[in-house]
Amino acid sequence: MNRYLPLAILSLAILAFATLLLVIAPGMEIAAQPVPADLHPYSEQELRGREIYVSLGCVYCHSQQPRSPDQAPDGERGWGRAAVAGDYAYDAPHQLGTMRTGPDLQNVGARLPSEAWHLRHLYQPRSIFAWSIMPSYPFLFEVKDSPSKGDKIVDLPVEYAPGSGVVVAKADAISLVAYLKSLDRTYPAPTDSLRDDGYSTVEAETK
Ligand code: HEC
């Protein structure tokens, strides 16, 4: 076997073809997706909250990708219309997730807009749902004997309140909640040009 040159050229051609087909073509297709007009870039505080979301691994239990009605009843669960590529225009790295130990969070900001609710839930999920298996994040909060002006005090039932003093949200908790509240892709989906079967996700939603 001494036909090294043709062998090398053939291997490189196969590799180049595969890269074109599996990396470059999909990349170009996704880059051409329109950014929905109602999708706003994250503010600095929301981006900080997003970093905390990533670092705490919320993605291990929460997806951010409601599916179309022909795949799952996500719409009936109140998680919103099926996600489209443009919804993630400002997300890097995206937090699509694969596990749904907890609800999908793609539209949690629209579903649960209360900052006080989120702060209490993050401090102790079981203070809201006794059955919750979500971890609590007490290190995002501190106990203060006398809160200063402007402190966000977490409203807790007696059994979860500290013996003395009050639970106050740290800056990280406030940023994380700002990020959660920004999760709102309830605007109508731009027609999804990735689909060529004439099936629009907007129509699917109203079926
Ligand atoms: C071990 C799995 C797990 C992890 C990790 C986890 N969660 Fe949850 N989460 C759940 C479960 C289960 C629920 C449903 C019960 C509840 O609301 O507490 C939930 C509910 C929620 C809800 C309410 C959603 C709704 O529609 O009712 C929010 C918001 C939320 N989680 C945010 C977070 C954030 C932010 C993080 C990371 C800091 C996180 N979760 C980490 C399991 C998890």
Q: d(Cα 82, Cα 65) in Å, to the nearest integer?
A: 7
- For residue 1, what pLDDT band results from cuts at 50, 70 and 90? low
Q: d(Cα 28, Cα 21) in Å, to the nearest integer?
A: 11
Report CA(43)–ligand 1 centroid distance (Å): 23
Report CA(115)–ligand 1 centroid distance (Å): 15
The answer, yes or no, to whether any atom of ligand 1 lies below 6 A from the CB of 111, is: yes
184 close to 80: Cβ distance less than 8 angstroms: no
The answer, yes or no, to whether any atom of ligand 1 lies below 6 A from the CB of 88, is: no
Report CA(58)–ligand 1 centroid distance (Å): 7
pLDDT of 138 over the 80 cut: yes
The answer, yes or no, to whether any atom of ligand 1 lies below 6 A from the CB of 136, is: no
49 close to 63: Cβ distance less than 8 angstroms: no
In percent, how much of the chain has pLDDT > 90? 84
- For residue 191, what pLDDT band results from cuts at 50, 70 and 90? low
- For residue 205, what pLDDT band results from cuts at 50, 70 and 90? very low
pLDDT of residue 31: 86
Atom of ligand 1 nearest to the CA of 125: 18
Q: d(Cα 196, Cα 63) in Å, to the nearest integer?
A: 26
- For residue 203, what pLDDT band results from cuts at 50, 70 and 90? very low
pLDDT of residue 179: 98
Span 163-190, average pLDDT: 95
- What is the residue with the minimal CA distance to atom 20 of ligand 1? 102
- For residue 189, what pLDDT band results from cuts at 50, 70 and 90? confident
- What is the residue with the minimal CA distance to atom 36 of ligand 1? 58
Q: d(Cα 48, Cα 83) in Å, to the nearest integer?
A: 24
